[in-house]
Structure 1
Amino acid sequence: MLRPPRGVLVGGLITSIYALTVLLTTIPYPGKIGVNYNTLGTDWMVFYGAIRSVLDGHASLIFDAERFTDFLNAAFAGWLSKPLDLRPWAYPPSFLLLLLPFAPLGFFASYVAFQLATAGLLAVALRFRADDRATSEVLLAIVLLCPAAFINVIDGQAVFLVAALIVGGLRLLESRPVLGGLILGLLTFKPQFCILVPLALIAAGQWRAFWAAGLSALALAAASGAIFGWELWLRWFPLMVENLTGSNTKWIEVGRIWGNSVYTCAMLLGAPQGLASGLQLLAALFAAASVVIAFRSQLGVREKMAVFLAATLLAAPHSGPYDQELLMLAAVLWLTVLDAPRPPLWCWTLALLIWLVPLVSPPVLIPVSRPAPLLTVALIVLVLHRRPVLVHNASQ
């Protein structure tokens, strides 16, 4: 069972209490403590506003960023402490399908229900064998009490669901590969977090899981097209290309520049846009190579999960402070598999730095977090450093 040094434990508890305090004071006193989040659930307003717009016959609204933002400011004026800045919908229509069960609940009830449901799914995914229940409990406590988790709740984001799908899917690859693939295919609801899935499955020789993941992704897309109309997909694809190529300057200003990606941090450190895009590409290539190495090796399931979680965050062209939950989970998984009975202090110090990153985010407001992607690279290298000899035959 993991037992952090006293100083690390105290530091973690203090910052966790601070993050909880920010959450509790965001509605009555937004910005009085920590970053001004305006109110609770501002990202959930985008999710809930999108599914309600589509169901109410105003699907075209979600692809007009200015009109959609005006709609959100009018619909949630009673919740907001000030009007929202530009809030575009940038997700595929398949995400709407996952939001559909929450649409009838109303804004606040659906916001709470989504956070509870996705946290519950993550808890289920993190349940290891009965003889290793203590590790599962420690893992769950850390990922639900870390600052990234509180920021996820404050914003009303979906990182609990992303983490649950990654952990659940990867854990099932050996015992139930088809089910594991089906789960991993659902990650396409946030495309930036599914780009490494095919590489991992091919590297592992998990062809049944590979085809199952593709089938799952296609089924999710087909169901959303059948329910909401294919016009949404025809409108979303050009928008996605525009965002990825950087030709959408508004998305850079209101989306990517407020994130934690390699691109964002490089831009904020003074790199021109072309160099920042190149560094993001190099980070993605490094992440892809790391996943291939890990899944071609005889590393254990937890090490492979750790590499995949960290690499997924590093490769993502856009991520937020709440998405650091993936890196925190990767760090704890790494700590659980170190050879030493008690990991040395420097290992815990690295994990504590990863724990703290969301509290000094976003980098556009707090410069100290701009080198944070280096922590992700360091963690990937440390996990891979333990790797045994590569498997030369997928049947071995």
Structure 2
Amino acid sequence: MPSTNNERPATRRVTVYALAALAIQILALGIWIFRFYILEDHSSPMVGIDFAIFWSAARVAMAHGAAYVFSPQWMLPMELALGLDNYSPWPYPPTFLLAVLPFGRLPFGIALSIYSILGLLAYGAVLARLCRGIDRAYLPLVLAFPGVAIAIGLGQNSLFTVAAAGAALAMIEVETALAGACIAILAIKPQFGVLFPLALICGRQWKTFGVSALCTLAIVGASLVAFGVDAWLAFAEFLPQFSTLAVEQGGIMMWPGMPTAFALGRSAGLSVNASYLLHGVVAAPAVLAMAYLWMRRARFELRAASLIIATLLVQPYIMFYDLVWLILPLVFLVRDHRTVALGRMEWIVIGAAWLAPAQAVLSAYLHQYLNILPAVMIALVIIVVRRHGATAPEFTNPSGEPSRRTC
């Protein structure tokens, strides 16, 4: 949708701010990499610190067996040799270990570089597909989204998972089989794929559902062939321990970096059960709203946005580096702006969501729960449902086209 005369000055200002934010992120990331790897100044956290855990796990799996990646006895020496200060556990299923195994065959620096480039390319390709047709004035906001720099700096896998989810949604109505295959990739981090089957069932998209199920089984089967049953048994034994220590009893070292309703409750002094109850009260309406929109065959942008928002809200444990996923609902809402113009308050909520990854980093490193994300996500759910209601029959032109009204 072309910008109106009133919108253009504000859009130009936002473009300048976004480009300035992008330049600051690139400069900060460059300085961080230069200081750590060129000047060998280790006073700041390691660049690619989370990838160091992935690489260490791949090395341990090749040398001793996949089941040993859950043991500090074997992981700690590898991690210390890379420069980590203490033991960082591997809480991922063998499906993700299968994905990172090839990187363990490379020297760490080369592996990190290839991993980061591949993640950025996958993310960029999917965003380029999703951003087709939106006003170019909004592209700087997409490019400058702070979640990307955070994921690259930490060496996290969130660029790959958001690319898989975005690709699935980009193809779900035109290449249903490929969409199912992309959903199956989320088996590397299965909590992020948990709501896709529900959405597909509610949307009666049986082919995509079937292909995703078969491909997921194939990925799990490949991990069984590669690592054996012992790796899965070790994972099943380790996961409750990790959940208790890192999630339920994480304290100020974990909860401030977890932008979830559960972490909010624990940070406020609620018990574990009360925090789970609070989390359920927040997550359940989002899941119901998502199911409703998929059952009603709402506009694709609204269905897609609701699925990603509900996926983030339903997780008791996500970290600030996972918030790169927020780019998807933001892009889908900007795309929906072409059908029903976004109102001022909606733009404010979108702006808050855009800032959420940076704000969550601040919360994590100050060790104070300052996250605004639960409230922002609830507001996004309300926006999506309201925008669906705004194009109900009473808001539709006689021609059948949605009204160009501002929500």
SS of equivalent residue, structure 2 residue 88: coil
Partner of 1:46: 53
Partner of 1:216: 215
Q: In structure 2, do the counterparts of structure 1 residues 156 and 364 end up closer, same or farther at CA, with 3 Å as the change threshold?
A: closer
Deviations 1:162-211 (A, max 9, x none): 11111211222222322211210221211221111111111101122112
1:57 paired to 2:64:
yes
Q: Which runs of 5+ in 2 are unaligned?
A: 37-42, 394-407
Q: Which runs of 5+ in 1 are unaligned?
A: 31-35, 78-82, 391-396
1:25 paired to 2:23:
no
What is the distance in 2 between the residues matched to 1:14 and 1:102? Answer: 34
Partner of 2:299: 300
What is the distance in 2 between the residues matched to 1:69 and 1:337? Answer: 48
Partner of 1:159: 158
> Letter of the aligned partner of 2:50 in structure 1?
D
What is the distance in 2 between the residues matched to 1:95 and 1:139? Answer: 34
Deviations 1:248-301 (A, max 9, x none): 779735656632222223322333332222222333323321221221123222
Q: In structure 2, do the counterparts of structure 1 residues 235 and 174 end up closer, same or farther at CA, with 3 Å as the change threshold?
A: same
Q: Do the aligned partners of 1:12 and 1:352 also contact (CA within 8 Å) in 2?
A: no
Match of 1:252 among 247, 250, 254: 250
Partner of 2:76: 69
| Structure whose CA Rg is larger | 2
Q: TM-score scaled to structure 2, two decimals?
A: 0.82
How many correspondences in the alignment?
A: 376
What is the distance in 2 between the residues matched to 1:386 and 1:91? Answer: 37
Partner of 1:100: 101
Partner of 1:380: 381
Superposition map of 1:302-321 within 5 A: 302-321=301-320
1:263 paired to 2:262:
yes
> Letter of the aligned partner of 1:13 in structure 2?
L
Q: In structure 2, do the counterparts of structure 1 residues 299 and 128 end up closer, same or farther at CA, with 3 Å as the change threshold?
A: farther
Of stretches 100-109 and 186-195 in structure 1, the one that deviates more from structure 2 is: 100-109
Q: Do the aligned partners of 2:259 and 2:372 also contact (CA within 8 Å) in 1?
A: no
Q: Do the aligned partners of 2:261 and 2:374 also contact (CA within 8 Å) in 1?
A: yes
SS of equivalent residue, structure 1 residue 47: helix
Q: Do the aligned partners of 2:126 and 2:163 also contact (CA within 8 Å) in 1?
A: yes
What is the distance in 2 between the residues matched to 1:251 and 1:20? Answer: 35
Question: Which structure: greater helix fraction?
Answer: 2
Match of 1:8 among 7, 14, 18: 14
> Letter of the aligned partner of 1:266 in structure 2?
G
Q: In structure 2, do the counterparts of structure 1 residues 26 and 127 end up closer, same or farther at CA, with 3 Å as the change threshold?
A: closer
What is the distance in 2 between the residues matched to 1:263 and 1:250? Answer: 9
Deviations 1:20-71 (A, max 9, x none): 33322324557xxxxx851210000011111111112243432124652343
Of stretches 110-119 and 145-154 in structure 1, the one that deviates more from structure 2 is: 110-119
> Letter of the aligned partner of 1:89 in structure 2?
W
Q: Do the aligned partners of 1:327 and 1:376 also contact (CA within 8 Å) in 2?
A: no
C-alpha deviation, 1:136, in angstroms: 8.9
What is the distance in 2 between the residues matched to 1:200 and 1:106? Answer: 41
Q: Do the aligned partners of 1:309 and 1:326 also contact (CA within 8 Å) in 2?
A: yes
Q: In structure 2, do the counterparts of structure 1 residues 320 and 19 end up closer, same or farther at CA, with 3 Å as the change threshold?
A: farther
Q: Do the aligned partners of 1:37 and 1:155 also contact (CA within 8 Å) in 2?
A: no
Q: Do the aligned partners of 2:356 and 2:372 also contact (CA within 8 Å) in 1?
A: no
> Letter of the aligned partner of 1:17 in structure 2?
A
> Letter of the aligned partner of 1:349 in structure 2?
I
What is the distance in 2 between the residues matched to 1:135 and 1:142? Answer: 12
Q: In structure 2, do the counterparts of structure 1 residues 107 and 251 end up closer, same or farther at CA, with 3 Å as the change threshold?
A: farther
What is the distance in 1 between the residues matched to 2:137 and 2:61? Answer: 41
Superposition map of 1:332-351 within 5 A: 332-338=331-337, 343-351=342-350
Partner of 1:117: 118
Q: In structure 2, do the counterparts of structure 1 residues 118 and 137 end up closer, same or farther at CA, with 3 Å as the change threshold?
A: farther
Q: TM-score scaled to structure 1, two decimals?
A: 0.84
Deviations 1:118-161 (A, max 9, x none): 222233333449xx745397777544431110000000011121
Q: Do the aligned partners of 1:151 and 1:322 also contact (CA within 8 Å) in 2?
A: yes
What is the distance in 1 between the residues matched to 2:380 and 2:195? Answer: 17
SS of equivalent residue, structure 1 residue 102: helix
Q: In structure 2, do the counterparts of structure 1 residues 299 and 315 end up closer, same or farther at CA, with 3 Å as the change threshold?
A: same
SS of equivalent residue, structure 1 residue 385: helix
